[in-house]
């Protein structure tokens, strides 16, 4: 199910934080937080790709931890610990900073760190997230919120936690929909389902979203996404990994639980699952695999601009045009069909012969998506299965469950309340000034690249100069005045509120059709502990949530340069020039602006980095790193660090020790083993210890500061370094 999100991310933004990458806030182990655009496109219950979880018992024994210590990087040594896995290192672990800087610097911090109930990870990101959570909860609990947005979020929060009412309703809100699916007999019934009025419970074979066009930046287009599958990677349907097996088990458990509650026998539920599975496998054959998603020519594949008429010709038996009509999305001048092969396959499969399997698919996904919108028993059951899947224990505190709902459905409205309470123009200006300062060094860095021709250098610096810089908050706000729903005191219900929010969100989306993009409507909630680069508008966006705790602006200059500078601003700027970003021009259009020879040299450099990363085996139980999948993020980490060190060179009495320690602390995080395995397999962000140790290995200043010599675990000879920039 997350694949749609992965494509959406390719089409919109590159996100910094691994903990939160491509998916929700780590706190949101309940309802999933909407990372993407408007609440209207929120997807409620995706396959759980977030990280939550504390260590399972087997993870916590220090003895076992030692055996799981890093095998390290073949060419460098076997001296790095798998310290990102909860429980692998303890106070007794002996490690020298010359051998494994990340672990040595964070050892004391890790020794006292525990993963909280309902979470899969702990560390500086979660600490920052906790600060944001506490501040937001305080705002949500305000007795008489003044603003309209304040009233909306507080009402939704209260309704979400009104378990008495939700339990009274039980599964009633979803029983009708399930019954409708059950009654489907023929293709015309399927058509009626697919083209019925859009609702917060909608579950269809295709989905769409209004986005900035990659082919015509600055204008909105309607992106058409392929059918959501339970397994994130269509490749898993043919060659299943252990992680995929765990995901499948989790999804199946939730589906069977819900069907049981709806009166299906176990045998019937199993049949639904296998029909759904068979249909998904047929489609998966024609969908982009994870490997393809991370290949360099992915944009050639997913950018396919077309008209409604052309969609009509491509849709085969599937009524895509009518589905778009049902949601008022049929008036757009352009569409982007992200997976033409998928639509062609769906158009062929959508026949009387396959009605039963398609029904099973719809029913399974429908109950999976809606489970947590119903009563407490269903909520807890889903949590239990998630816990098994990710090794999580316990559940989130009640108030965080309510917050997760607000973050899922009204994140922007919540942002506005937060901004009014906490954000200042001074802080925003400070961050913007730092970005400008940083960008000027980045310019120097690009100018010094001796492998680039003058022409490519000129275009690269033009792209840098054209970078839109955004920090903390936007002055433009989405209009919530038209959104009204009854509060608990007024007799409202949770589902009524969700439906009202859905309709309002859909209306906001419809209003964007054929309009110019408003770049000030950010793609992510500013309360997220994160930042992003957005290729279609060539912008970097530094969010408020990433400026608290270890990434606060109120630290020494060196610490700010390491965390806010190298790891956030420099990292995001480099995304404009990673192997994906480099394919977009200064205006955000997918367009080749490189001299051919330069582009070849660039890709060769990226290839060396991939080879280097492919040698890393994080620990005995993990696969080697997938360098191809994680190269863009590592390019960004390396580039950010290099530019920051250039800046440091010009500062008097610069304290390198403080700088490097802050960099190590910037990614200090532990995760449960299951969660980490899942991340390593599906996330473009390398494990956090690699995000620290690898960039440092590439720095002369680091080698000098700590007198790192051949034989030390952190040593990397200059000729072995694989900086792309
Ligand atoms: Zn990134």
Per-residue model confidence as pLDDT tens digits over 88-117: 888 889 999 999 999 999 999 999 899 999
Least confident of 72-76, 185-189, 488-492, 523-527: 72-76
Mean pLDDT value across the chain: 89
User: Domain 2-54+131-415 - what CATH class?
Assistant: mainly alpha
Distance CA 579, CA 601 (A): 12
First-to-final CA distance of the chain: 35
Q: What's the CA-to-centroid distance between 686 and ligand 1, angstroms?
A: 10
Q: How far is the CA of 21 from the centre of ligand 1 (A)?
A: 8
Q: What is the pLDDT of residues 251-304, one digit of tens each?
A: 999 999 999 999 999 999 999 999 999 999 999 999 999 999 988 899 999 999
Report which of 525, 529, 3, 533 is spatially closest to residue 302, judged by C-alpha positions: 3
Contact 401, 30 (CB under 8 A): yes
pLDDT of 206 above 70: yes
667-701 confidence digits (pLDDT tens): 999 999 889 888 888 899 999 999 999 999 999 99
pLDDT of residue 59: 29
The alpha carbon of 664 and the centre of ligand 1 are apart by a number of angstroms equal to: 17
Confidence of residue 431 (pLDDT cuts 50, 70, 90): very high
Q: Report the C-alpha gap between 703 and 685 in whole angstroms.
A: 25
Looking at residue 26, what is its pLDDT? 30
Q: Find, among 636, 571, 627, 604, the residue nearest to 451 by Cα.
A: 604
Helix-then-strand count for the chain, H and E: 30, 12
Q: What is the pLDDT of residues 540-563, one digit of tens each?
A: 999 999 999 999 999 999 999 999
CA of 616 to the centre of ligand 1 (A): 20
Query: How many whole angstroms from its chain centre is CA 372?
Result: 21
User: What integer pLDDT is reported at residue 49 of this predicted model?
Assistant: 30
Three-point CA angle 323, 326, 331, nearest 5°? 90
* Tens-digit pLDDT profile for residues 372-386: 999 999 999 999 999
Q: Locate 534 and state its tokens.
A: 């957005």
Ligand 1 center–CA 292 separation, angstroms: 19
Distance in Å, CA 15 to ligand 1 centroid: 5
Could you tell me the distance, in angstroms and rounded to a whole number, from the CA of residue 623 to the centre of ligand 1?
Answer: 22
Determine the Cα–Cα distance for residues 351 and 386; give it in Å rounded to an integer.
35
Ligand 1 centre distance from Cα of residue 110 (Å)? 24
pLDDT of residue 82: 87
Share of residues in the chain with pLDDT > 70 (%): 90
DSSP strands (E only) in 93-157: 121-123
Report in angstroms the alpha-carbon separations of 152 from 3, 124, 347, 401, 510.
31, 31, 41, 17, 22
Q: Which two tokens stand for residue 94?
A: 């002996």
The phi and psi torsions of 60 (rounded to 5 degrees) equal -95, -10
- Helix residue ranges, H only, 332-423: 340-349, 355-370, 376-390, 398-409, 411-422
Give the helix/strand (H/E) hosting 323: helix 320-326
Determine which helix (DSSP H) or strand (DSSP E) holds 212, and give its type and residue range: strand 207-212
Tell me how far the alpha carbon of residue 638 lies from the centroid of ligand 1, in angstroms.
11
- Tokens matching residue 82: 């798998």
The per-residue pLDDT for 474 is: 94
User: Does the pLDDT of residue 519 top 90, yes or no?
Assistant: no
| Residue 36, pLDDT above cutoff 70 | no
How far apart (Å, rounded) are the C-alpha atoms in residues 328 and 140?
A: 33
Q: Can you tell me the distance from the alpha carbon of 89 to that of 111, in angstroms, rounded to the nearest whole number?
A: 7
Find the 532 Cα to ligand 1 centroid distance in Å. 7
Are 345 and 256 in contact by the 8 Å Cβ rule? The answer is: no
Q: Which two tokens stand for residue 332?
A: 């757009």
Going from the Cα of 318 to the center of ligand 1, the distance in angstroms, rounded, reads: 37
What are the structural domain ranges in the chain?
Answer: 2-54+131-415
In contact, 625 and 690? CB cutoff 8 Å: yes
- Please tell me the distance between residue 27's alpha carbon and the centre of ligand 1 in angstroms: 20
Distance 529 CA to ligand 1 centre (A): 13
Residues 119-169: tens digit of each pLDDT: 999 999 999 999 999 999 999 999 899 999 999 999 999 999 999 999 999
At residue 147, φ and ψ (nearest 5 deg) are: -80, 160
Q: List for the chain the helix, strand, coil content (%; round to 5).
A: 55, 5, 40
CB 205 within 8 A of CB 226: no
Give me the helices (H) in 546-623, please: 557-560, 571-575, 596-614
Q: Give the distance (Å) from ligand 1 centre to CA of residue 425.
A: 26
Q: Are the CB atoms for 195 and 318 separated by under 8 Å?
A: no
- Residue 71's pLDDT is what? 45
Residue 601 has pLDDT above 60, yes or no: yes
User: Under a CB-based contact definition with an 8 Å cutoff, are residues 698 and 723 in contact?
Assistant: yes
Residue 325 CB coordination number (10 Å): 14
pLDDT for the residue 46 = 30
Distance 190 CA to ligand 1 centre (A): 41
What pLDDT, in 10s, does the model give residues 454-470?
999 999 999 999 999 99
Euclidean distance between CA atoms 136 and 413, whole angstroms: 12
């Amino acid at each position: 199910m997350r694949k749609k999100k992965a494509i959406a991310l390719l089409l919109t933004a590159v996100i910094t934080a691994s903990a939160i990458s491509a998916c929700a806030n780590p706190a949101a182990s309940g309802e999933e937080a909407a990372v993407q655009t408007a609440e209207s496109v929120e997807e409620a219950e995706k396959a759980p790709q977030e990280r939550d979880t504390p260590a399972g018992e087997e993870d916590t024994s220090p003895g076992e931890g030692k055996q799981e210590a890093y095998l390290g990087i073949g060419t460098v040594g076997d001296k790095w610990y798998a310290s990102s896995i909860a429980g692998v290192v303890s106070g007794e672990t002996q490690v020298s900073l010359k051998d494994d800087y990340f672990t040595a610097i964070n050892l004391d911090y890790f020794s006292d760190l525990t993963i909280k109930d309902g979470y899969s990870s702990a560390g500086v990101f979660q600490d920052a997230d906790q600060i944001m959570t506490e501040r937001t909860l305080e705002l949500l609990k305000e007795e008489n919120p003044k603003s309209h947005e304040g009233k909306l979020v507080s009402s939704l929060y209260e309704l979400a936690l009104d378990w008495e009412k939700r339990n009274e309703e039980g599964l009633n809100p979803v029983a009708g929909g399930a019954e409708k699916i059950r009654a489907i007999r023929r293709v015309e019934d399927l058509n009626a389902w697919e083209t019925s009025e859009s609702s917060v419970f909608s579950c269809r074979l295709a989905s769409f979203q209004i986005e900035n066009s990659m082919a015509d930046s600055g204008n909105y287009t309607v992106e058409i996404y392929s059918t959501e599958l339970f397994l994130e990677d269509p490749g898993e349907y043919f060659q299943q990994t252990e992680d995929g097996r765990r995901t499948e088990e989790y999804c199946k458990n939730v589906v069977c639980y819900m069907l049981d509650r709806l009166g299906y026998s176990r045998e019937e539920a199993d049949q639904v699952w296998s029909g759904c599975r068979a249909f998904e496998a047929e489609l998966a054959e024609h969908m982009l695999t994870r490997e393809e998603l991370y290949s360099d020519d992915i944009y050639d594949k997913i950018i396919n601009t077309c008209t409604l008429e052309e969609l009509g010709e491509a849709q085969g038996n599937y009524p895509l045009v009518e589905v778009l009509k049902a949601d008022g999305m049929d008036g757009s001048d352009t569409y982007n069909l992200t997976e033409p092969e998928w639509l062609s396959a769906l158009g062929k499969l959508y026949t009387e012969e396959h009605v039963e399997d398609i029904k099973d698919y719809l029913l399974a996904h429908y109950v999976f998506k809606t489970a947590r919108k119903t009563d407490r028993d269903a909520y807890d059951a889903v949590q239990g299965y998630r816990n098994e899947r990710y090794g999580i224990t316990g559940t989130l505190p009640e108030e965080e469950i309510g917050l997760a709902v607000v973050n899922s459905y009204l994140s922007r409205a919540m942002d506005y309340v937060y901004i009014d309470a906490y954000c200042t123009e001074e802080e925003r200006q400070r961050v913007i000034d730092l970005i400008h300062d940083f960008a000027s060094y980045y310019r120097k860095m690009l100018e010094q690249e001796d492998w680039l021709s003058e022409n490519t250098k000129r275009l690269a610096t033009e792209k840098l100069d054209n970078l839109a810089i955004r920090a903390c908050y936007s002055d433009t706000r989405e209009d919530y005045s038209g959104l009204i729903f009854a509060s608990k005191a007024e007799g409202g219900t949770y589902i009524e509120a969700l439906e009202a929010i859905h309709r309002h969100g859909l209306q906001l989306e419809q209003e964007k059709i054929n309009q110019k993009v408003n770049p000030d409507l950010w793609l992510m909630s500013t309360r997220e502990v994160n930042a992003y680069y957005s290729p279609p508008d060539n912008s970097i966006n530094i969010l408020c949530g990433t400026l608290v705790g270890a990434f606060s602006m109120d630290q020494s200059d060196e610490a700010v340069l390491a965390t806010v500078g190298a790891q956030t601003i420099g990292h995001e700027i480099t995304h404009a020039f990673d192997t994906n970003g480099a394919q977009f021009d200064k205006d955000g259009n997918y367009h080749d602006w490189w001299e051919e020879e330069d582009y070849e040299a660039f890709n060769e450099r990226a290839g060396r980095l991939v080879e280097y990363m492919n040698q890393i085996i994080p620990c005995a139980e993990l696969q080697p790193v997938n360098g191809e999948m994680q190269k863009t993020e590592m390019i960004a980490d390396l580039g950010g660090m290099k530019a920051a060190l250039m800046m440091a060179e010009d500062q008097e009495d610069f304290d390198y020790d403080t700088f490097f320690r802050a960099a190590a602390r910037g990614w200090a995080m532990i995760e449960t083993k299951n969660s980490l395995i899942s991340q390593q397999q599906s996330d473009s962000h390398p494990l956090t210890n690699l995000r620290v140790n690898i960039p440092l290995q590439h720095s002369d200043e680091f080698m000098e500061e700590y007198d790192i010599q051949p034989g030390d675990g952190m040593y990397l000879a200059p000729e072995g370094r694989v900086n792309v920039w």
